[in-house]
A and B are shown apart, each in its own frame.
Chain A
Amino acid sequence: MSDVKERIAELVGKHDVVLFMKGTTLFPQCGFSSRAVAILDHLEVPFETIDVLQDAEIRQGIKEFSDWPTVPQLYVKGEFVGGSDIMMEMFESGELKQLVAANAD
């Protein structure tokens, strides 16, 4: 129905671990995105990032796609995991490591 939803579905289907964020891994443009990158770096898994600041359509579209009002957003194997607070909680409990280890190539 809408192109942007198809684009997002393709992105989260193509990569095992995808982070929608503001900025890039080297230059995150927001503290929450920076924290999300730091968590994934720490887990030492390969991940893909999408800079929503470079794409207004995705910036709006991802909020509707996930029914989630903020960025960053993490997807693992096409499933929405959560934003940076959930990532931090799951990181601290060890759940995130398990999840990505089970799903990342």
Chain B
Amino acid sequence: MPMAADHIEQLIRAAIPDAQVTVTDLVGDGDHYAARVVSASFAGLPRVRQHQRVYAALGSRMGGELHALQLTTAVPSGDEQ
């Protein structure tokens, strides 16, 4: 079952409250998304750990109903903080 973009966003925000989340439906099929997650809580974490936190927020959906999620994570730049 495809997932709605705002559902993905909600799940990530629920787990990482300060996150700025941008979800893009790449193909328009509700199945291939890109997400950019920016959170101060990522500071000092290696990329793998940052991505693991987002995957944890999505739980078992990742790799299942959510087949394709291109993920980028970042710490807010100085001006945004």
- Residue numbers of A with Cβ under 8 A of B are 31-32, 63, 67-70, 80-83, 85-86, 89-90
Sample of 19 further A-B pairs with CB below 8 A, known A69-B55, A86-B51, A89-B72: A32-B68, A63-B63, A67-B52, A68-B48, A68-B51, A69-B63, A70-B62, A80-B48, A81-B48, A82-B47, A82-B48, A82-B51, A83-B51, A85-B70, A85-B72, A86-B47, A86-B48, A89-B47, A90-B47
The size class of the interface chain B forms with chain A is: 10 to 19
Query: Which of B51, B52, B62, B63 lies in contact with A85, CB distance below 8 A?
Result: B51
In the A-B complex, list the 10 residue pairs whose CB atoms are closest, starting with the nearest.
A69-B62, A69-B63, A70-B63, A85-B71, A82-B48, A86-B47, A69-B55, A85-B70, A82-B47, A67-B52
